[in-house]
Amino acid sequence: MTGDFNIRDSDWDPNIQYHSIHMEDLMSIADSLDLELAIPVNPGPTRFADNQRDTNSVLDLIFINPNNSGFNKHTLNPDICLPSDHVPLIIEIGIKEENINITFKAIKKDSEKEEAFIRDIVKGIRNIDTHELENQADI
């Protein structure tokens, strides 16, 4: 679970000196999904203030299952945030290799079913009314 949660809280932003009432709700939702707040490899602000009165802050978070190999391995990439005022959060998610049995239906080449299928397609094409087609745009 990731996103811009717009919650300023001391649990993830060292510049904030308080806990937000919304933080408890967010953490409760994450807990109900068996997720925990992941800490980036290179912590820092995820949103840059657009004026000098505000400070840069941490608003964008990633919650992940702590048993996942990507836990606490995501990074912030402030070098590619423009034109946004938010820093991209980057995480690699491994996909487990496994064999997936795929079945498909096919018509045996040069069989009677193939001939019948081709006849049906040709018949369908021949039955298309082309009398009112006068130029390429009409097609």
Listed residue (63, 108, 52, 59) closest to 81, CA to CA? 59
The rounded distance, in Å, linking the Cα atoms of 65 and 131 is 63
In degrees to the nearest 10, what's the CA dihedral of 73, 78, 82, 88? 10
pLDDT, one tens digit for every residue, the chain (139 residues): 988 999 999 999 988 888 888 999 999 999 999 999 999 999 999 988 888 888 889 999 999 998 887 788 888 888 886 678 888 888 877 777 777 787 878 888 899 999 999 999 999 888 888 888 888 887 7
Determine the Cα–Cα distance for residues 64 and 3; give it in Å rounded to an integer: 12
CA dist., res. 37 & res. 1, Å (int): 9
* Architecture per CATH, 1-95: 4-Layer Sandwich (3.60)
Tokens of 67: 């048993």
| Residue 3 DSSP label | E
**Predicted structure pTM score:** 0.62
Cβ 26 vs Cβ 71: under 8 Å = no
| CA nearest neighbour of 57 among 2, 1, 3, 10 | 10
